[in-house]
A = this chain, B = another copy of it.
């Protein structure tokens, strides 16, 4: 594997650590064959990355339950299905195309190797290539599923399938190549994003923002000072999602070192990640409390997530103190984002754009302010780096935003013109669960659409069913909409 192909940037820290170890061990048995891999380091790093990757995978459940908690009961099955099947879509699309576009060698703009995982080297970035692939697959799934929250409660299921495949297989890998593959033009320019504030989170939010502009607001959503919000169906389910996401971030950020041998770095990143989450929760909760008079759960949940998104880019290059500041500002920026979306009448049911978009932009810029890498990485404004790094970060943010927003606009325009993007009005009233999936998520709980507790054997009426597929689905199901 040529050095050009290597995942140099994210390995800066780990590399230096190993260098130090190598010097320390000069004369030891391991230093004798220095081109042979060190089996202990290889094993430790692989176990670490597979552990971290498992936590990142579990974030798919976290996104699913966060979004499910924030939507109405009639649309819960749909949003869970989207998060679930997005994971499966990404598994295939990132295997077939995405990984090659992102981490294969090619040009400054796109990779052109490793499609279908063919002709891959044994190791990549110091770990088995397949361990690296698993970790990156989980990241790709996160990027593609973030948008589903912004599009909730009105998007056709087929449209979700298509945009998820395009985001995870094309848009995300291309941007990832620019930033995380050493030949990428943003990487060459000196743009840094340690674990993906921009690459994963902002990107997902841009897709979601463009999607909601194409879709329009949900039926019944009003904006303005006296507007009524549309309450989510279960704070319990939203809390579950938030806890799982917080847990998952302990894989997302420190796992991005790709190195368990980098013991100090992964410890620092773990603590930074957690402190930013805590600070974001408080600031958003406090702002909402001050404004509304009560401490509301959604502010705490989304504040935590905004803090986590914000610390994602700079987590390896800042101190715990700085992480608290970055997370706190992340919570505030998310809060402002919610009001800006309301002001401009953008309907984002779960707050995906404020959390991942506003939080992600802030975190990416924070690298240019707070970073203080001692290993050749970024040095920000407050540590003697002047405005250079901040300027580069801003350019990166703008470039990625422009590319993703325009790509997404084309994508959604084509989807709308072909398979249709929005469900018809009656589907929103009845719920996407019945319309798209022919079932009711909670048949025994909700007043509307409830089914008899015990079916009459052989009864012929067309009732949506959860576990059987033979029923003649009612005529309206799946019909109509914006196409």
Contacts and interface: CB of A to CB of B under 8 A. Distances in A.
A189 interface: no
Contacts of A477: 293-294
Q: How large is the interface on A (under 10, 10 to 19, 20 to 34, 35 or more residues)?
A: 35 or more
A473 interface: yes
A464 to B, nearest CB: 8
For the complex of A and B, the 6 pairs showing the least CB-CB separation, nearest first, are A229-B468, A28-B29, A91-B278, A61-B243, A294-B438, A231-B466
Contacts of A54: 55, 247, 250-251
A88 B236 contact: no
B467 A229 contact: yes
Contacts of A299: 469
Contacts of A122: 264
A419 interface: no
- Identical copies of this chain, number: 3
27 contacts: A28-B32, A40-B40, A46-B263, A47-B48, A47-B51, A57-B246, A64-B243, A84-B242, A84-B297, A88-B282, A91-B274, A116-B321, A127-B267, A128-B263, A129-B267, A130-B270, A131-B267, A133-B271, A137-B274, A220-B455, A229-B465, A231-B451, A231-B467, A240-B240, A296-B466, A298-B467, A442-B445
A290 to B, nearest CB: 9
A325 interface: no
B441 A235 contact: yes
Interface stretch (A65-73, A174-182, A197-205, A357-365): A65-73
A29 B38 CA distance: 14
B85 A281 contact: yes
Nearest to A433: B235
Interface in A355-400: none
A295 B437 contact: yes
